[in-house]
Each structure stands twice: as C-alpha cells, then as structure tokens.
Structure 1
Amino acid sequence: MPAFVGAVKINSIASSAIFHIGDVYSMAPYSTAKTFAGGGSFNTGDGIRINLGHSYTHVLDKDRIDSSISANA
C-alpha cells in the first residue's frame, strides 16, 4: 500500500544496514554476525551491580554455518 512519507533524517547507516521507505517484497542482509557473551554482559543502565562469581561461556558450534547469505550478492 503506497504511503506518504514526511521528512527523514539519517544520522548514520552501517555498511551492512538496510534502509527502506515504502513497499517491499523481500529484504535480506549482506552480512551476519554471531555474538557469544557470558552472564551480565549486555546490561545497561545507571547503578547496576552484578556479582556472578565464577561465570563461564562455553560454546560448542559444530556446524559453523548459521546464516547463509551467499544468494544475497
């Protein structure tokens, strides 16, 4: 469905980002990433106190292929 779009301000776009205004059939990224992090890694805010003692992040990824982007080139 067509739409009217007012002013758009873009501060920055990463190299693999998708910026879209209007109708779209399919959107696909040109890069992927996998992040491993232990407990308490992505906490944000003021005055956060975290005590995890001994924290370990064990990763076992046998297939090594999670997001194929070969068809997006």
Structure 2
Amino acid sequence: MPSIIAGPLKINSVGGGVVNFGDAFYLSPKSADKTNAGSGSLNTGDFINTNTGLSSTNPFDPDVSDQNVTANA
C-alpha cells in the first residue's frame, strides 16, 4: 500500500540502515548489533530533561547470540 505523508517528517540520521516509505515485498536487516545503555541514555528529541539518579547497567549476556544474520542478500 502506498504511503501518504501528510505533514512534516524529521529523520535525524540513518547510519547504514534503510528508510522505506510505501510498498515493500521483503525487508531484512543487513547487520545486527547490541548496545548496553543505562537509564537516561540514548534519548532522542529536541528538548530532553532526564533525572535518573543512580543508574547501573549489566552488559553480561548469557545466550551470546540474539539475532543471527545469515544468508541475507
């Protein structure tokens, strides 16, 4: 189904990704990564105000592999 965008659209950045509007038969990731971030981080927007106090992040991952990218043309 075609897309109709009836208003402003803001894309801050696309780092090696795909932005698609409209019809798409098949979309698949070309890469996969993992980011560990504590509370109050990775916020996007124009006016950000976060009050998180003490934050701790545990980057331990017992299953090692979350999203395998294989046979992906």
| TM-score (normalizing by structure 2) | 0.57
Identity of aligned residues (%): 34
Q: 1:50 aligns to what? A: 51
Q: What RMSD, in angstroms, separates the aligned Cα atoms of the two structures?
A: 3.0
Residue of structure 2 equivalent to 1:67: 67
In structure 2, what is the equivalent of residue 25 of structure 1?
A: 25
Tell me the equivalent position of 2:40: 40
Deviations 1:18-38 (A, max 9, x none): 244553221101111211111
For residues 21 and 50 of structure 1, the distance between their equivalents in structure 2, rounded to whole angstroms, comes to 36
Task: Specify the alignment match of 1:9 in structure 2.
Answer: none
Aligned residue for 1:59, secondary structure, equals: coil
Unaligned runs of 5+ in 2: 5-12
- Structure possessing the higher radius of gyration over alpha carbons: 1
Please state which structure has a larger fraction of its residues in helix: 1
Q: Measured at CA, do residues 27 and 39 of structure 1 come closer, stay the same or move farther in structure 2, by a change above 3 Å? A: same
Per the TM alignment, residue 49 of structure 1 is displaced from its structure 2 partner at its CA by 5.1
Unaligned runs of 5+ in 1: 6-11
